[in-house]
Amino acid sequence: SQKIEQNSEALNIQEGKTATLTCNYTNYSPAYLQWYRQDPGRGPVFLLLIRENEKEKRKERLKVTFDTTLKQSLFHITASQPADSATYLCALEDGGFKTIFGAGTRLFVKA
Amino acid sequence: DAGVIQSPRHEVTEMGQEVTLRCKPISGHNSLFWYRQTMMRGLELLIYFNNNVPIDDSGMPEDRFSAKMPNASFSTLKIQPSEPRDSAVYFCASSEDRGYQPQHFGDGTRLSIL
């Protein structure tokens, strides 16, 4: 089955900068990959989905790339704000219905 | 729109007691998932239902765990007997049954077994 690796160390950046989070997977390329945001005491909230035949997807200040050769997805938040501080989870399909989640990377945006 | 509703939000009980967690999925969603989240293991899928039928329960840790979905608007996850190592946050999520649909999560039940 798939294994997902996300940076376990927190990412600290200054307000206004671009935050870049990395998601690496180990086995076959999934049909799709998703990114979720999780705030303390809350459930994950879906942000973006990118399919295997898409290289890039954008939504407002968010951008996701999917490189099946590198087995990697990058998640970018441009013009970051303190309100973007949260844990971001990468998730990908692991055979049919099943979605597996990475451990997440915590992002802190300082004012 | 009402999201996924879980109850209780917090549960503290003693080892050996039965624990029942409840979930109401979003109306119209016919896939339902139970997850457990811990610092050590992250978010783990326990069981998945489609149209109220359990499809894959390979993530259920052991026989002490059971889940039911008697109808499209209600599911339970039961632990009997509970043990301290079951302490975690348990999430329920639902999605539409079409390809690549995102999952909508409830806010979880924080379970502490003393």
At A27-62, the pLDDT tens digits run: 877 888 999 999 999 999 999 999 988 989 999 999
User: Cβ of B19 under 8 Å from any chain A Cβ?
Assistant: no
At B8-42, the pLDDT tens digits run: 999 999 999 999 999 999 999 999 999 999 988 89
Q: Which of A34, A41, A97 shows the shortest C-beta gap to B48?
A: A97
Confidence label for A95 from pLDDT (cuts 50, 70 and 90): confident
Best interface-test mutation with A: which of B43, B48, B50, B107 has the largest number of A CBs within 10 A? B43
In this prediction, residue A3 carries a pLDDT of: 86
- Is the CB of residue A16 less than 8 Å from the CB of residue A83? no
In this prediction, residue A102 carries a pLDDT of: 93
∠ CA B24-B28-B30, rounded to 5°: 75
In this prediction, residue B104 carries a pLDDT of: 96
**Nearest CA to CA, how far is B111 from chain A (Å)?**
12
Give the percent of chain A with pLDDT over 70. 98
Question: A102–B42: do the CB atoms touch at under 8 Å?
Answer: yes
Question: A49–B91: do the CB atoms touch at under 8 Å?
Answer: no
Among A25, A108, A39, A8, smallest CA distance to A68 is for A25
Confidence label for A8 from pLDDT (cuts 50, 70 and 90): confident
Question: A42–B104: do the CB atoms touch at under 8 Å?
Answer: no
Q: Which of A32, A42, A98 shows the shortest C-beta gap to B100?
A: A32
Question: A98–B56: do the CB atoms touch at under 8 Å?
Answer: yes
- Token pair, residue B105, equals 């999560």
**Nearest CA to CA, how far is B104 from chain A (Å)?**
7
* Residue B1 pLDDT greater than 90, yes or no: no
- Alpha-carbon span B30 to B73, nearest angstrom: 9
At B62-106, the pLDDT tens digits run: 899 999 999 999 999 999 999 999 999 999 999 997 667 899 999
- The arithmetic mean of pLDDT across residues B51-59, rounded, is 92
User: Cβ of A3 under 8 Å from any chain B Cβ?
Assistant: no
In this prediction, residue B101 carries a pLDDT of: 85
Burial class (CB in 10 A: 0-12, 13-18, 19+), B114: exposed
Among B90, B103, B84, B87, smallest CA distance to B8 is for B90
Burial class (CB in 10 A: 0-12, 13-18, 19+), B47: buried
Phi, psi for A83 (deg, rounded to 5) = -65, -15
CB pairs under 8 A between A and B: 44
Neighbours of A78 (CB within 10 A): 14
User: What value does the mean pLDDT of chain A take?
Assistant: 92
| Contact residues on chain B for A49, CB-CB shorter than 8 A | 100, 102
Q: Where are the beta strands (DSSP E) in A60-102?
A: 62-67, 72-77, 86-93, 99-101
Sequence-distant (≥ 6) Cβ neighbours of residue B40 within 8 angstroms: none
Q: Which of B100, B102, B108 shows the shortest C-beta gap to A51?
A: B100
- Alpha-carbon span B19 to B111, nearest angstrom: 9
